[in-house]
């Protein structure tokens, strides 16, 4: 039961932060959902760092790792919103921006996870 509560709390905090960032930044640049993009990239970096740290050291307990990865990062990042925004770009026949947004989100997300894992090794 404790693990369910940890995931619930972490997910709620992550979702609130994602909502605030997306609300603040998604209107800043037309045809590129900057808030969602940054949330997903930051989440990738964080999950890589947290998992790397927890795999290498005893700095975080299993419950803390669960709170931060499944909970916070799971609530903070959003594949469904990314997919919906891609749909909107396609619906507007905006193939160039759709391609750019999709490729950047996936490629930079994977790079961010790798950087997070690498950074955790420096501690």
Q: If you search the block for the tokens 């997903």, which residue do you land on?
A: 40
Please report the pLDDT score of residue 29 as a whole number. Answer: 72
CB-CB contact of 74 with 10 (8 Å):
yes
Residue 88 covered by a domain? yes
The answer on pLDDT for 11 being more than 80 is yes
DSSP state of 59: S
Residue 20 covered by a domain? no
Domain count, the chain: 1
Concatenated DSSP letters of 64-116: HHHIIIIIIIHHH--HHHHHHHHHHHHHTT-HHHHHHHHHHHHHHHHHHHHHH
Residue 52 covered by a domain? yes
Residue 86 covered by a domain? yes
The answer on pLDDT for 64 being more than 70 is yes
Global pTM value: 0.90
Mean pLDDT confidence for 60-79: 95
Please report the pLDDT score of residue 28 as a whole number. Answer: 62
98 is in which domain, residue-wise? 34-56+76-123
Please report the pLDDT score of residue 31 as a whole number. Answer: 79
Please report the pLDDT score of residue 83 as a whole number. Answer: 95
Residue 5 covered by a domain? no
The answer on pLDDT for 111 being more than 80 is yes
């Amino acid at each position: 039961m404790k693990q369910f509560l940890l995931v619930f709390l972490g997910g709620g905090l992550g979702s609130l932060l994602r909502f605030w960032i997306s609300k603040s930044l998604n209107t800043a640049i037309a045809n590129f959902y900057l808030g969602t993009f940054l949330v997903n990239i930051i989440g990738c970096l964080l999950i890589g760092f947290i998992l790397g740290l927890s795999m290498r050291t005893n700095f975080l307990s299993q419950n803390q790792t669960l709170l931060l990865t499944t909970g916070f990062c799971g609530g903070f990042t959003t594949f469904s919103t990314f997919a919906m925004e891609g749909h909107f770009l396609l619906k507007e026949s905006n193939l160039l921006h759709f391609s750019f947004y999709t490729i950047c989100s996936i490629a930079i997300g994977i790079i961010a996870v790798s950087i997070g894992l690498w950074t955790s090794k420096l501690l």
